Amino acid sequence: MVNGNGKVALPLDPEDVGRALRPLEYASMLPPAAFVDQQVFEWEMQNLFHDSWVCLGHISQVEKQGKFIRREIGPDSVVVVGGEDGQPHAFLNVCRHRGARVIEEADGQVKRRLQCPYHAWSYALDGSLVAAPHMDDVEDFDRSCYGLIPVRLATVGGLVLVDLSGEAPEPDDHVGELIEHLDRYRTADLVSGGRIDYEVDANWKGIAENYNECLHCPGVHPELNALSDYMSGEEIAGAGSWCGGSMFITAENAATMGKEGGHAGNRPRIEGLSEEDDRTILYFALFPNALVSMHPDYVMLHTLFPTAPDHTEVICEWFFERKTAEAEGFDPSDAIDFWDQTNRQDWYVCELTQKGVGTTGYTAGRYSGEEGTVHEFDNLVAVRYMEALNERVEA
């Protein structure tokens, strides 16, 4: 259903949504329809992913001239490429001739041009059209009017953010005080040491909710729980569209989160951190789709790209100090293998939840007293729901 202004209407009951906005001890979770209804999904893609800042990846992926990443946000395909001016540029991934996708790969590097594979229209790294075969005799054809369509771009704390609407609040306001943590872990200066892509048959919000609590860790993640007691850590608050907290490495002599009880890796801590940080893991959800995990010796980034109410593409990447990654014998497999196992355990229970939440007669559950960060994330969603529902009532 589309309302009078061309926007998808949100088919949720304000009373059901309002229960999630109550104080934690009185609140109920988001209504089941938020996880299974196609129209809710379409509303979210339009209002939370198109009209807001979305994280596409890390600055190291586009720091060199011609390096690019391509990501899909609903019906829109976006390319970010390192320019000749040393800055990244973002565009819609659509040729201005017949609308073909210009870039097919998820990432890669070109020399100085982005060329459409259909009719060979070519674009400079700043998006300007530089070659359009067989267009010389066309009347009133101005090449300067047919460059790639730009997308608003910001890089904050090493994260590459785009705003498809061009009207989202300032990126610094969106990231808020999370920048203090991103900067302390020097996230912008780290480089990639590995990546794994996942296809998860679960709603994107369910994945984020799972990320924001560890009550499931004893039963679902025995290796993780052996390194960090599931009740360790505390919530962290601050200005901006994010939530998160900490957990502590409680296993004796463990050096990091990794295989072999955290002893397999022998990496130095991220420059600028202290001995006190050696026992601390920080985790943050930057709304709507970035999950940033900070370890003493690496940072892990999950980015979520929903494709259906019950399906999400997840990209997980690990970032290390440049000198660590370039050192002889660098081997990040202890961290990557550890979190790959943990990820897959998470996807399993997220998919179980997705199968159950749409069951006829199921109603939203209650939060436990230890799910404050889940409640905070859901509130970021519920506030946006209520804004739209209130506008509907006022109209």
For 182-230, the pLDDT digits (tens) are 999 999 999 999 999 999 999 999 999 999 999 999 999 999 999 999 9
pTM for this entry: 0.95
pLDDT in tens, 79-118: 999 999 999 999 999 999 999 999 999 999 999 999 999 9
Give residue 2's pLDDT: 54
Higher pLDDT, 3 or 27: 27
pLDDT in tens, 302-327: 999 999 999 999 999 999 999 999 99
pLDDT at 273 over 60: yes
- Distance from C-alpha of 5 to C-alpha of 146, rounded to nearest angstrom: 29
Average pLDDT estimate for 247-276: 88
Average pLDDT estimate for 4-30: 91
Return the structure tokens found at 65.
């001239």
Give residue 255's pLDDT: 87
pLDDT at 34 over 90: yes
Give residue 5's pLDDT: 57
pLDDT at 393 over 90: no
pLDDT at 6 over 70: no
Q: Which of 258-262, 266-270, 316-320 has the highest mean pLDDT?
A: 316-320
What domains appear along the chain, each with residue ranges and CATH number?
A: 53-163 (2.102.10.10), 172-377 (3.90.380.10)
Average pLDDT estimate for 266-282: 93
Predicted confidence band at 1 (pLDDT cuts at 50, 70, 90)? low
Predicted confidence band at 3 (pLDDT cuts at 50, 70, 90)? low
Give residue 261's pLDDT: 80
